[in-house]
């Protein structure tokens, strides 16, 4: 594996605010690397320090073998950057934006295939303000890809998009990775990171709380599993308490929630059927990254 990014013990403070306390991470070539955590966790500060847009107080960074502070010019030619809350002047046309951004780079890819790839060919003469939310995002991605970058940074890419556009944007991100590029995806949406990222750094209060593949993070929870079903009126939760592997039974309105270890679904189903109870909606709930975050920090992430 080639490390495209190596960051060691990054720290950045603003007065009394410790934006990044201590962040170390490596990103490998060709992966989608998710950086997740709640708003204010220090994700953007860490990533912008890595890109050379901010100067960390301490720590070392290498991106594509370059030092972002001293070799910024050279590095900028090889990075694609879509910044959080990026915007363009309302009246700027799509082609004018491409023209402007192209002037920043020594080498750019041809626009036409790029516009076609992101479904913007018809929008070439459309003003920025008349693009839909999804089209704006695709334009920002196209602009970030204009210099055929080796690494592309996407920060809160889908914030404010409707669910359908979000999903379409996810496909776009996968397509970028499939072109052999390395993607750094900053998001406070756990489902997005879980869906897209090959590896994830969970950032909390300026530190890396965990770093691994989504699968390992979730498996590492050891939280056991959760079985849910609807209990009919008068259902007696006590009859599940003695069942092997069951550690807790709780009730929320008519929902019965059973937590435990081992083959929980089979054991709960067997115990219920002994009492002639056959709930139609008996199901196992899989842990997700939200649970990982809760387990790591003791707090829920707001998304």
Contacts to ligand ADP by CB under 6 A: 14, 17, 19, 37, 39-45
Shortest gap between Cβ of 216 and ligand ADP (angstroms)? 23
Shortest gap between Cβ of 205 and ligand ADP (angstroms)? 9
Choose between 40 and 113: whose C-beta lies nearer to ligand ADP: 40
Provide CB contacts within 8 A for 22, sequence distance 6+: 9, 10, 11, 206, 207, 208
C-alpha dist (Å) from residue 278 to 75, 85, 226, 246, 251: 62, 51, 18, 18, 17
Choose between 8 and 205: whose C-beta lies nearer to ligand ADP: 205
Half-sphere exposure of 279 (CA within 13 A, CB side): 22
Choose between 153 and 229: whose C-beta lies nearer to ligand ADP: 153
Shortest gap between Cβ of 81 and ligand ADP (angstroms)? 15
Choose between 43 and 123: whose C-beta lies nearer to ligand ADP: 43
Shortest gap between Cβ of 41 and ligand ADP (angstroms)? 4
Distance (Å, whole) CA 42 – CA 271: 48
Query: Which run of H or E residues covers position 9?
Result: strand 3-14
**Residues linked to residue 250 through DSSP beta bridges, in sequence order:** 257
Residue in 51, 204, 84 with CA at minimum distance from that of residue 155: 84
Shortest gap between Cβ of 44 and ligand ADP (angstroms)? 3
Residue in 266, 264, 265, 274 with CA at minimum distance from that of residue 239: 274
Choose between 49 and 137: whose C-beta lies nearer to ligand ADP: 49
Choose between 63 and 240: whose C-beta lies nearer to ligand ADP: 63
83 DSSP 8-state letter = -
Shortest gap between Cβ of 206 and ligand ADP (angstroms)? 7
Distance (Å, whole) CA 269 – CA 257: 13
User: Rounded to 5 degrees, what angle do the CA atoms 44, 50, 51 make?
Assistant: 90
Shortest gap between Cβ of 95 and ligand ADP (angstroms)? 32
Angle between helices 133-144 and 94-102 (to 10 degrees): 20
Choose between 44 and 169: whose C-beta lies nearer to ligand ADP: 44
Shortest gap between Cβ of 136 and ligand ADP (angstroms)? 20
Q: Token digits for 159?
A: 């914030």
Choose between 37 and 260: whose C-beta lies nearer to ligand ADP: 37
How many other CB atoms sit within 10 Å of the CB of residue 50? 27
Half-sphere exposure of 293 (CA within 13 A, CB side): 25
């Amino acid at each position: 594996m080639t490390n495209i990014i190596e960051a060691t013990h990054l720290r950045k403070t603003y007065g009394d605010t410790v934006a990044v306390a201590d962040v170390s991470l490596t990103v490998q070539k060709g992966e989608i690397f998710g950086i997740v955590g709640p708003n204010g966790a220090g994700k953007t500060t860490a990533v912008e320090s890595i890109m050379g847009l901010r100067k960390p107080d301490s720590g070392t960074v290498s991106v594509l073998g370059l030092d972002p502070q001293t070799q910024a010019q050279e590095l900028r030619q090889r990075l694609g950057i879509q910044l959080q809350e990026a915007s363009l002047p309302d009246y700027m046309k799509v082609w004018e934006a491409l023209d402007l951004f192209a002037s920043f780079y020594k080498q750019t890819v041809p626009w036409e295939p790029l516009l076609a790839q992101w479904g913007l060919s018809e929008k070439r003469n459309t003003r920025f303000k008349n693009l839909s939310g999804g089209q704006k995002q695709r334009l920002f991605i196209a602009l970030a890809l204009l210099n055929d970058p080796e690494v592309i940074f996407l920060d809160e890419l889908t914030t404010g998009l409707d669910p359908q556009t979000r999903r379409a944007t996810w496909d776009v991100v996968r397509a970028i990775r499939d072109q052999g590029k390395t993607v750094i995806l900053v998001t406070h949406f756990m489902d997005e990171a879980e869906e897209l990222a090959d590896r994830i750094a969970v950032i909390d209060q300026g530190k890396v709380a965990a770093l691994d593949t989504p699968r390992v993070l979730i498996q590492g929870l050891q939280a056991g599993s959760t079985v849910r079903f609807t209990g009919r009126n008068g259902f007696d939760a006590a009859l599940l308490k003695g069942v092997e592997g069951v550690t807790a039974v709780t009730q929320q309105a008519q929902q019965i929630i059973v937590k435990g270890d081992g083959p929980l679904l089979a054991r709960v189903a067997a115990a219920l059927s002994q009492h002639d109870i056959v709930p139609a909606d008996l199901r196992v709930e899989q842990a997700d990254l939200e649970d990982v975050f809760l387990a790591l920090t003791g707090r829920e992430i707001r998304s």
